[in-house]
Amino acid sequence: PLIFHHEGLDERIFEHLNIWTRKPNLRGWQRIVNRIRNAKNSTTIAIVGKYTHLKDSYKSLHEALIHGGIANDCKVNLVYVDSEDVEKQGPEALLKGMKGVLVPGGFGTRGIEGKIKAARFAREKRIPYFGICLGMQIAVIEFAVNVVGLKGAYSTEFDRNTPHPVISLLTEWVDQNNQVQKRSADSDLGGTMRLGSCPCRLVPGTLAHQAYNKRLIHERHRHRYEFNNNYREPLAEAGLVFSGICPDGDLVEIIEVPQDRHPWFLGCQFHPEFKSRPMDPHPLFREFVKATLGNPGIRKGRKRRI
């Protein structure tokens, strides 16, 4: 916008449309450019996915993380890590020294185990973790297996015969009377995708509530698989926090690891990157980047104050 103004594009548009307007107020853009060029802080975040050979697949995430950096006067360095490489080489080789780990949305079985390993690495090494859509489901699976001890816990997207379907299609675990249904091979047919804006109620005192500073939010969805509410009690007893619940169907939207166990570990079923803007960064991206500034990475032995 600043370059367009300097080159007189706005004046040409006014002339062409034969309209009049006041001199534009570009102070907001000037502040953004100044923060990007002269950021006081820096952080390095790994995006662990399977489309890293085509980085534009994560363009919205990339920009939302930059927005979070602007809010924290921070330069965000992004490292794209192929989840299949994590499977082969292990997370220590590829994620050591990262100040944050983000696992984005996706589908299909390829690279899933690498994403699960990345989530476990971030949880156990106390590295800030942000899971979006599938990234949230990955965090649930990892927690169910390695913390709760539910051997074989998985998503029915990847293993229809898993003994513990902690993630599944809504039609696989609940019917109209809120009773458990027997899973069937054709249960994934029909209108099972959740699309568009949905409400979510936040639990006071949680990371999500601190970020949004409100009780009711609306976020955009695009997914078919959900957290299986039949496993809410055992996971909660093991310490997982369900900080965001959709009142329409009592569906889990946000999960967290308590702050007394981890500095910042959060997963959301929706896609917050779609609502982030340079002058209005999304609260979750803002807080995730902020958390990484307090995390020196596991190569260093002490935390750096923000």
pLDDT digits (tens, 9 = 90+) for 243-273: 999 998 899 999 999 999 999 999 999 999 9
Please tell me the distance from the alpha carbon of residue 100 to that of residue 277, in angstroms, as a whole number.
21
Least confident segment among 133-137, 270-274, 291-295? 291-295
Give residue 2's pLDDT band: very low, low, confident or very high (50, 70, 90).
very high
pLDDT tens for 184-231 read 434 444 456 788 999 999 999 999 999 999 999 999 998 999 999 999
268's CB contacts (< 8 A; 6+ apart) are: 131, 132, 133, 136, 208, 219, 244, 253, 254, 284
Mean pLDDT across 114-133: 97
Q: In the prediction, which pLDDT does 173 show?
A: 59
CA angle 275, 32, 219 (to 5 degrees): 10
Q: In the prediction, which pLDDT does 264 show?
A: 97
- Measured in Å, how far apart are the chain's first and last C-alpha atoms? 31
| pTM for this predicted structure | 0.88
Catalytic residue among 164, 209, 223, 271: 271
Q: In the prediction, which pLDDT does 174 show?
A: 56
Give residue 158's pLDDT band: very low, low, confident or very high (50, 70, 90).
very high
Q: In the prediction, which pLDDT does 294 show?
A: 87
Mean pLDDT across 141-161: 96
CA angle 76, 223, 229 (to 5 degrees): 105
Check: CB of residue 282 under 8 Å from CB of residue 273. Answer: yes
pLDDT tens for 74-102 read 999 999 999 999 999 999 999 999 999 99
Catalytic residue among 67, 74, 133, 157: 133
Q: Is 273 a catalytic residue?
A: yes
Q: Is 133 a catalytic residue?
A: yes
Please tell me the distance from the alpha carbon of residue 247 to that of residue 263, in angstroms, as a whole number.
28
Check: CB of residue 265 under 8 Å from CB of residue 240. Answer: no
